Amino acid sequence: MENNNSRRDFLKKSAAITLGTIASTAIGNNALAASEFVEKEALINSVKFTLPALPYEYNALEPHIDKMTMEIHHSKHHQTYVTNLNKALETIAEPTVLSPSVLDASPSLENIFDNMSKLPPAIRNNAGGHYNHSLFWTMMKPNGGGDVKGKLGEAITKTFGSIDEFKKQFADVAMKRFGSGWAWLVYKEGKLAIGSTANQDNPLMNLESVEIKGKPILALDVWEHAYYLKNQNRRVEYISSWWNVVNWEKAEELYIAAK
């Protein structure tokens, strides 16, 4: 009888030890998983995008684009995209679905665009808005416009027949973008192409709904906030004026880098 009791006690103790080991292992694994999650989440949350300074004064593009429009466009509209992008990145609940590039301590907007289908609309809108505007400011300069020279000028002439024909087609695409959006000249698979995107989408976004894909060479903002104070609803007037401030040297730089 004593032996039976001893055997029963031994089995109970063994079971308790086994259950305790399983429980502690599970807790340990969960704690590890939680620490990994927190670490990855912290990496995402540590990313803070900032508003880039304009490479010229707010009044530098007058009379073609007025000072007040530039100041509001840059310091209010663009700043809002930056602020909301940072907030949106903090709300990502499952960072493990993203690629390592996005989980990097300082991911680029391009890496975010590669993973766009996995991200919420707030990131799509605000990351797009931040990238598009950051590029747009560099697409313009005081005393810009003029002839398109260099390799880009040659490629435009070869693709569209002439610089004037290119401008006509680009302006037509910009005019036909219903509502808010952007007009683009892009480089893809050895060729230049013109197209437009809605809202703050851009050709780098890995989304089927984006109408034109490629590396941006030229970008024009056709949201009304880009021109309404000066041109009211006359988008065609704004587009015509914009050619006088285009930074063709920057476009040439982007074209060479894209090839």
DSSP, residue by residue, 40-63: HHHHHHH----PPPPSS-TTTTTT
pLDDT (tens digit per residue) in 56-74:
999 999 999 999 999 999 9
- Residue for token digits 């007040």? 68
Fold for the domain defined by 150-258: minor pseudopilin epsh fold (3.55.40)
- Compute the residue count for the chain: 259
CA distance 236 to 234: 5
Mean pLDDT computed over every residue of the chain: 84
pLDDT (tens digit per residue) in 88-115:
988 875 554 555 555 455 567 988 999 8
pLDDT (tens digit per residue) in 227-241:
999 999 999 999 999
**Region 197-216 average pLDDT:** 97
CA distance 253 to 116: 27
pLDDT (tens digit per residue) in 217-226:
999 999 999 9
**Percent of the chain having pLDDT more than 90?**
70
Residue 248 clears pLDDT 80, i.e. is over it: yes
Return phi, psi of residue 218, to 5°. Answer: -145, 140
CA distance 54 to 184: 21
CB 147 within 8 A of CB 153: yes
CB 174 within 8 A of CB 220: yes
Q: Is the pTM of this model over 0.85?
A: no
- How many CB atoms lie under 10 A from the CB of residue 89? 24
Per-domain boundaries in the chain: 150-258
Quick one: pLDDT at residue 90? Answer: 84
CA distance 3 to 196: 86
Quick one: pLDDT at residue 146? Answer: 95
